[in-house]
Amino acid sequence: MDQIDLKILSLMHENARIPMSEMSRTIAMSQPAVTERLRKLEEQGIITAYRAQLSPQKLGKHTTAFVLFRTSNCKDFVAFSEACPEIVDLYRISGEYNFLMKVLTETTESLGSFLDKCSPLGFSTTLIVLSTAFEDKSLVPSHEAE
C-alpha cells in the first residue's frame, strides 16, 4: 500500500467507471500494472464494491430520517429491517438505544406509516434530515495520494 495505491483508491472513489487506460495515463504507469494493482486491492478487501449512487429525490424518496431504536429482540429486529425497503442502513450502537437506522420514504406521511409498522418491535426516536451538507467524503484525501 503505497502512494500509487492511494491515488488509485482516490480516483476510483471519485469515479468508479473511469477506464483503466485513462487512469494509467493520469498516474503515469502502464495500464496492465494499474489493472494488477486494482485486482489486488479488490482481493485484499480494501475495495468492497463499486456502486452507482442514486438520487433518492429523483426516485420519489423526498424524506430522509435517522431513527434511533430500542428493542429487546435484536435478531428479529435485524431480520425485520433487512426486509424493510425504507431502511437503507442499519447500525448496532452503544447507549440507551440498540440501533440507528437511516430511513428513506416518499413523504413525511409515509415516514409516519413506517414508524407505526416498527412500533410493535420497540420504541424509537426520529431525527428528520433537513438537508445533507455532504456524504461519502473520501477516506483517502487526494493531497495524501499525490
Partner DNA sequence: GTTGAAAAAACAGAGGA
Partner DNA sequence: TCCTCTGTTTTTTCAAC
Enumerate binding residues for its own copies (CB under 8 A): 9, 12-17, 44-56, 58-59, 61, 64, 66, 68, 78, 81-82, 85, 87-95, 97, 99-100, 104, 127-137, 139-141
Q: Which residues within the stretch 33-72 sit at the binding site for DNA (CB under 7 A)?
A: 33, 35-37
Give the residue with the Cβ less far from DNA, 20 or 128.
20
The answer to whether 1 and 136 have CB atoms below 8 angstroms apart is: no
Contacts by 41-50, CB closer than 8 A, 24 or more apart: 41/5, 41/8, 41/9, 46/1, 46/9, 47/9, 47/12, 50/12, 50/16, 50/17
Return d(Cα 92, Cα 97) in angstroms, integer.
Answer: 9
- Smallest distance from the beta carbon of 28 to its own copies, in angstroms? 20
Q: How far is the CB of 18 from DNA (least distance, A)?
A: 8
Binding partner at 135 among DNA, its own copies, none, C-beta below 5 to 8 Å by kind: its own copies
- Position 29, amino acid: M
Assign 97 to helix, strand or coil.
Answer: coil
Footprint of DNA on residues 5-34 (CB under 7 A)? 19-22, 29-33
Question: What residues line the site for DNA (CB under 7 A)?
Answer: 4, 19-22, 29-33, 35-37
